Amino acid sequence: MNYLITFACYGCHLHGDESGSVDRGHNLPGSRLVEADPKRVSAERQWMDQPPYCMDRSRQEVVLASLLERCSQRHWSLWAAHVRTNHVHIVVEADARPERVMNDLKSYASRCLNHLGLDEPARKRWARHGSTRWLWKRENVSAAIRYVVDEQGDPMAVFEATKP
């Protein structure tokens, strides 16, 4: 099955921030995002036990390489990936549920960053969950690839397969 998977860095997309976010009451396709709420953002920041995680160019490249490596190891087809400073988008075909794929890729990326000593091993890097969308049709896969590769602003660490 094909999926569009997105996950944020720890502390970078808090519920109620001005960019809009999703929570249990605002998580259905087409539903409104959580309204901006500075008090909620402030409360969530107080619960954080580490500062927000932001990836520089070297970390972005390590994470991208880890995605490619892990997908190859698992025999998953990585169609596209874009590692930004505060989140990651992936279009992947896998024989596992999207939550498992996302968790495996997040864990492996952290392991690779730890191996290179770019952060302390106890560093929180990723938000607790993320977005996992099933892509049922070929045109959905193509649209997701275009979204990931071309619609994220200036390219950062980007991968696109030659043929989905």
Per-residue pLDDT tens over the stretch 127-155: 888 999 999 999 999 999 999 999 999 99
Strand partners, 107: none
Cα atoms found within 13 Å of the Cα of residue 122, Cβ hemisphere only: 3
Query: Considering the chain, what is the average pLDDT of its residues?
Result: 85
Contacts of 94 by beta carbon, 8 Å cutoff, 6+ apart: 1, 3, 71, 74, 76, 77, 101
Where do the structural domains in the chain lie, given as residue ranges? 2-13+50-160
Class assignment of domain 2-13+50-160?
alpha beta
- pLDDT tens digits for range 65-90: 999 999 999 999 999 999 999 999 99
More confident residue, 95 or 46: 95
pTM, two decimals, is 0.82
